[in-house]
Copies of this chain bind each other. A is one copy, B any other.
Amino acid sequence: MGLTKSEIFTEEQNKLATLFKILAHPARIAILQYIIGQRSCICNDLVEELGLAQATISQHLKELKSIGIIQGTIEGKSVCYCIDEKVWKKIQSDFNIFFNQEVKVNKCC
């Protein structure tokens, strides 16, 4: 089929999976790291830095924007992208809430 059955999972499970999915691409990891290193950047910087086509970078930026982890501000004829620190920390917190669930020892493993 190829269609995730979202309706059988909780909203929390779907939301967490979506966050993971947006981060699950090396180009998007690289984009985030580049923005952090430079504090901000424009789309073309990333095209030169990463060597992917402009359309591809633009699409990755759109996906990162979709979860709010970056935001873009129009500056003349370019768009300045930067990290939204609040969202960045919220995502880290959500991940840690998930990972801080106590893993109990058991019999078999």
Interface residues of A in 84-99 (CB under 8 A from B): 84-85, 88-89, 91-92, 95-96, 98-99
| Residue contact B21 to A108, C-beta cutoff 8 Å | no
| Residue contact B30 to A24, C-beta cutoff 8 Å | no
Which of chain B's residues have a CB closer than 8 A to the CB of A40? 106-109
Which of chain B's residues have a CB closer than 8 A to the CB of A73? 108-109
Which of chain B's residues have a CB closer than 8 A to the CB of A100? 92
| Residue contact A17 to B24, C-beta cutoff 8 Å | yes
Q: Can you list 12 contacts pairing A with B, beta carbon distance less than 8 Å?
A: A8-B51, A8-B52, A9-B30, A14-B26, A17-B25, A33-B101, A36-B101, A40-B108, A40-B109, A73-B108, A85-B103, A95-B99
